[in-house]
């Protein structure tokens, strides 16, 4: 194990694994996890956002994309090591981190088979909320221009829960874009994720509130809008995931939870 850190919530010392620690404990632990999991599944998802400080780097525009990717060490090294282990057992690896567009192509160069598409969903949401498809078209053209292989993108991983605007901060006009998003959604100045399902986005695009969306006379229009969004996701190249919220048309990310469900006191989920 590496050094330890203090867990504020539990007021206890918690061990922290360092990927580059000389003992190699982190690599061995992940190798054992891969061997165990891939006896039952072929596709593995991995996130290294916590060990590279990706949240703090979303709005960083300094340096070339190559330099920004190398600055994420040991994240790329960890992903490549895990990817080799997954392939060793005959599986595929999908990186689920919220990567900005400038780093997506570099993530696909290594041992990763698929990378989460973090641009199409927020750009689509913005297009529907603002009635302006310019930003969506610009982002899709930009991803093709930098060489992103859309056949290796995974869409819909968390789209049934929220819209994550962070990857768009990395764009040239990202700050102004997110500021406009906050006006459209009513988010606070600190908010970079908007709780939103496919159905609630469709309702907003139709200018319906939650009560209006549930009325019988609006159900057909809302259903068509939801199916159009799902068809758009599935029709694009790459992997497409469908959530329970998508299947049920839930208007709230927590729509499938029991009324008595309470958020975790540690992480708030």
Per residue in 149-183, pLDDT (tens digit) is 999 999 988 776 888 888 887 777 777 887 888 78
What is the pLDDT of the chain when averaged over all its residues?
Answer: 75
Q: How many CB atoms lie within 10 A of CB 225?
A: 21
Query: What percent of the chain has pLDDT above 70?
Result: 68
Query: Tell me: the pLDDT tens digits for 61-77?
Result: 556 666 666 667 777 77
Q: Which residue has the higher pLDDT, 124 or 90?
A: 124
pLDDT at 52: 63
Alpha carbon 233 to chain centroid, angstroms: 14
The single-letter DSSP state of residue 192 is -
The single-letter DSSP state of residue 113 is S
* Token pair recorded at residue 145: 């221009």
Q: How many CB atoms lie within 10 A of CB 147?
A: 11
Is residue 69 packed enough to be buried (19+ CB in 10 Å), middle (13-18) or exposed (0-12)?
buried
How sure is the predictor about 267, in pLDDT bands with cuts at 50, 70 and 90? very low
Q: What pTM was computed for the model? A: 0.71
Cα separation, 123 vs 206, in Å, equals: 17
Q: For the chain, how many residues are written? A: 269
* Token pair recorded at residue 224: 């068509």
Query: Does the structure show a pLDDT above 60 at 7?
Result: no
Cα separation, 4 vs 12, in Å, equals: 10
């Amino acid at each position: 194990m590496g050094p330890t850190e203090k867990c504020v919530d539990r007021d206890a010392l918690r061990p922290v694994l360092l990927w580059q620690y000389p003992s190699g404990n982190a690599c061995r632990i992940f190798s054992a996890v891969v061997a165990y999991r891939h006896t039952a599944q072929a596709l593995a998802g991995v996130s290294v956002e916590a060990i590279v400080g990706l949240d703090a780097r979303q709005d960083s525009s300094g340096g070339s994309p190559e330099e920004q990717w190398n600055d994420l060490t040991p994240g790329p090294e960890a992903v490549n090591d895990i990817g080799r282990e997954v392939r060793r057992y005959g599986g595929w690896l999908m990186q689920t981190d919220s990567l900005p567009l400038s780093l997506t192509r570099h993530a696909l160069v290594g041992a990763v088979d698929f990378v989460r598409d973090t641009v199409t969903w927020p750009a689509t949401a913005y297009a529907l909320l603002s009635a302006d498809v310019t930003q969506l078209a610009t982002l899709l053209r930009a991803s093709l221009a930098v060489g992103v292989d859309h056949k290796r993108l995974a869409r819909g991983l968390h789209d049934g829960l929220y819209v994550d605007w962070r990857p768009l901060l990395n764009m040239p006009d990202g700050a102004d874009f997110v500021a406009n998003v906050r006006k459209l959604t009513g988010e606070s100045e600190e908010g970079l994720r908007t709780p939103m399902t496919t159905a609630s986005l469709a309702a907003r695009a139709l200018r319906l509130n939650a009560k209006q969306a549930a009325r019988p006379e609006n159900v057909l229009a809302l259903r068509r809008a939801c199916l159009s969004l799902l068809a758009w996701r599935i029709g694009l190249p790459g992997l497409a995931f469908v959530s329970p919220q998508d299947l049920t048309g839930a208007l709230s990310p927590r729509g499938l939870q029991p009324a008595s469900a309470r958020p975790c006191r540690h992480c708030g989920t």
